[in-house]
Amino acid sequence: MKRVAISERPDWREKATEFGFAFHTMYGEPYWCEDAYYQFTLAQIEEIEDATAELHQMCLKVVDKVVNSDQLMTKFCIPKHTWEFVRSSWRTNQPSLYSRLDLAYDGINPPKLLENNADTPTSTV
């Protein structure tokens, strides 16, 4: 993995706002880095793909455990009035929109999961 310095796009904030992504700046700081990108080898891409597939399956196992436990549904603050809808959706294998896995990766060690953002409201922005 190689970090490559580039010039910031001069109009990135305006473009983001134009497309409805108004939270491109948070607390006075840019939400992402515009002055560099990372270049990966094919082997690194394949490592990330394999890890992502494995992590996704692990997350699905957690969902199954939570959905089948009143105690865990409560612990995860799933409103009780939605439990049957959530469980029915899970049992009937309803499609999901997406799942974004935030990973820490240095190009040397295996990727590590920081968080999984699945079907969050920002997907509709």
pLDDT tens per residue across span 15-63: 999 998 888 888 989 888 899 999 999 999 999 999 999 999 999 999 9
| Domain shared by 77 and 118, yes or no | yes
Q: 103: domain range?
A: 41-125
| Domain shared by 34 and 62, yes or no | no
| Domain shared by 15 and 71, yes or no | no
At residue 38, the 3 state secondary structure works out as: strand
Average pLDDT rounded to a whole number, residues 84-112: 91
Please give the Cα distance from 6 to 38 (Å, whole number): 11
Copy the structure tokens of residue 83. 């439990």
| Domain shared by 17 and 63, yes or no | no
Indicate the number of domains in the chain. Answer: 2
Average pLDDT rounded to a whole number, residues 1-22: 93
Please give the Cα distance from 29 to 60 (Å, whole number): 34
pLDDT tens per residue across span 54-74: 999 999 999 999 999 999 999
CB 100 within 8 A of CB 121: no
Alpha carbon dihedral 43, 44, 50, 52, in 10-degree steps, equals -160
